[in-house]
Amino acid sequence: VLNPESIKTPSWSRVTKPEEMESWLMRRNKRHLQQMYIEKSPPTTEAFAPILEDYGTSTITDEILDGTFDVDSLNISDEMKLFLKSLKRTPEEKRMHVPSRMPKEAFQEVMR
């Protein structure tokens, strides 16, 4: 914060109507989901684009999880390189079956 004096003290009001609650939650969630892009977090950078292709089911993602991807070749911070290296699956994790796609019906059931 460059100018702490410009920060306004938050004001609070009671929200009791379901429609108003939903509206405030939608605004909050929208801002929360946009936060990575607003703050230019690593997953929104060009270096991460290949990793996030195909909803994170790309060959690069598999290589990161197997520990065979050259993370050091990415133009990202040392901290992010360390983070990606830490995603390497253990032998026990490799034996687990985790489906990469969820059928629509199963998703709908979870969201009920």
Residues 6+ apart with CB under 8 A from 66: 88, 89, 94
pTM: 0.56
Contact (CB, 8 A) for 42 and 80 = yes
**Residue 98 above 90 pLDDT?**
no
Encode 13-45: b = buried (16+ Cβ within 10 Å), e = exposed.
eeeeeeeeeeeeeeeeeeeeeeeeeeeeebeee
What does the DSSP 8-state code read for residue 100? S
For the chain, the C-alpha Rg in angstroms (whole number) is 20
Place of tokens 């133009």: 75
**Residue 2 above 70 pLDDT?**
no
Tens of pLDDT, residues 22-41? 999 999 999 888 888 888 88
Residue 50 in tokens: 């290949």
